[in-house]
Amino acid sequence: METVTMETKTSAQHIISDPAICHGEPTFRGTRIMVADVLEQVESGMAYETIIEEWRYEIDRDAIAKSRSAWLTPLGGVGKARRSKSGI
């Protein structure tokens, strides 16, 4: 019988991808806030301060900036394509 292990992956210091949290979607460390959701807010033009307030201060400016740069860096991101707007 084959053993399947679930592996937690970390990208940058603020992003984690754990199969036990949000189905393995990249989240901010220590939260269930998905990186893709925050990046959509950034792309829509929302100010970092507003994003931080909306997520009840569970993330900070540095986490947003570093996740954004990690996502935009080829092969330096979280290893998964971003969700489409349809959620798939």
At residue 10, the pLDDT reads 67
Q: Which two tokens stand for residue 21?
A: 């949290």
Q: How confident is the model at residue 45, as a pLDDT?
A: 96
26 vs 78: CA distance, rounded Å: 7
| Whole-number pLDDT of residue 72 | 72
Domain ranges of the chain: 9-72
Alpha carbon distance 88, 69 (integer Å): 23
Q: Are 31 and 14 in contact (CB under 8 A)?
A: no
Task: Give residue 85's pLDDT.
Answer: 45
What CATH number does domain 9-72 carry, 1.10.3210.10, 3.40.109.10, 1.10.3720.10, 1.10.10.10?
Answer: 1.10.10.10
Question: Which of 85, 80, 86 is CA-nearest to residue 25?
Answer: 80
Low-confidence ranges of the chain (pLDDT < 70): 1-6, 10-12, 73-88
Q: Which two structure tokens, joined as six digits, stand for 50? A: 């507003």
